[in-house]
Amino acid sequence: MRIAVIGAGVIGVTTAYELGADGHEVTVFERHGTVGAESSFAHAGLVGPGCVSPWTPPGGPRKVLSNLFRDRAPVRVDPTVAASSLGWLWRWWRASQAPACHVNRARLVRLAHFSRERLDALTNHLHLEFEGGRGLLVLLRSPRELALVRPAVQALSQLGVATEVIDGAACRAIEPGLSPHTALHAGIHSPDDRVGNCRQFTHLLRKEAGRAGVQFRFGLSVERIIPGRQPRLLARRTPIDPRERAALRAEGAVDWKDTEPPAGEDGEQAFDAIVVCNALGAGTLMRPLGLRLPLLAVHGCSVTAPLRHDDQHLNLEPRAAVMDERYQVVISRLGHRVRVAGSMDIGGRAERPWPAAQATLDKVLDDWFPGIVNSNQAQRWRGARPTLPDGPPVLGPSGCDGIWLNVGHGSSGWALACGSARLVADAIAGRPTPIGIDGLGVERLRR
Q: State the SS3 of 15-34.
A: HHHHHHHCCCEEEEEECCCC
| Residues 418 and 435 both lie in one domain | yes
| Residues 9 and 53 both lie in one domain | no
| Residues 113 and 169 both lie in one domain | yes
Supply the CATH number for residue 58's domain: 3.30.9.10
Q: How far apart are CA 186 and CA 150, in angstroms?
A: 12
Per DSSP, the three-state class of 420 is helix
How far, in Å, are 120, 243, 245, 326 from residue 249 at the CA level?
31, 10, 6, 40
Which pLDDT score is estimated for 397?
96
| Residues 72 and 95 both lie in one domain | yes
Per DSSP, the three-state class of 159 is coil
| Residues 105 and 25 both lie in one domain | no
Parts of the chain with a pLDDT under 70: 54-84, 242-265, 347-353, 447
| Residues 187 and 279 both lie in one domain | no
How far, in Å, are 174, 319, 362, 369, 429 from residue 332 at the CA level?
14, 8, 14, 11, 37
| Residues 309 and 254 both lie in one domain | no
* CB-CB neighbours of 326 under 10 Å: 16
Q: Which amino acid is at 232?
A: R
Contact indicator for 386, 295 with CB cutoff of 8 Å: yes
| Residues 275 and 153 both lie in one domain | no
Quote the distance between the C-alpha of residue 367 and its chain's center: 26
Per DSSP, the three-state class of 157 is helix
| Residues 395 and 380 both lie in one domain | no
Percent composition of the chain: helix, strand, coil (DSSP 3-state, to 5): 40, 25, 35
Q: Please report which helix (H) or strand (E) contains residue 103, including its range.
A: helix 98-126
Per-residue pLDDT reduced to its tens digit, 76-124? 666 666 556 777 877 877 887 778 888 888 999 999 999 999 999 999 9
| Residues 54 and 24 both lie in one domain | no
Task: Give 379-404 as a DSSP string.
Answer: EEEEEEEEE-TTSS-EEEE-SSTTEE
| Residues 125 and 56 both lie in one domain | yes
Which residues touch 342 (CB under 8 Å, ≥6 apart)? 44, 74, 300, 301, 302, 327, 328, 329, 330, 357, 360, 361, 364
Contact indicator for 40, 414 with CB cutoff of 8 Å: yes
Q: What is the pTM of this model?
A: 0.91
Supply the CATH number for residue 8's domain: 3.50.50.60
CA-nearest of 14, 103, 1 to 406 is 14
Task: Give 208-263 as a DSSP string.
Answer: HHHHTT-EEEETEEEEEEE-SSS-EEEEEE-PPPHHHHHHHHHHT-S-GGGGSPPT
Q: How many domains does the chain have?
A: 2
Burial class (CB in 10 A: 0-12, 13-18, 19+), 125: exposed
| Residues 185 and 92 both lie in one domain | yes
Alpha helices, H only, 262-379: 281-286, 355-368
Domain that holds residue 306: 46-194+296-387
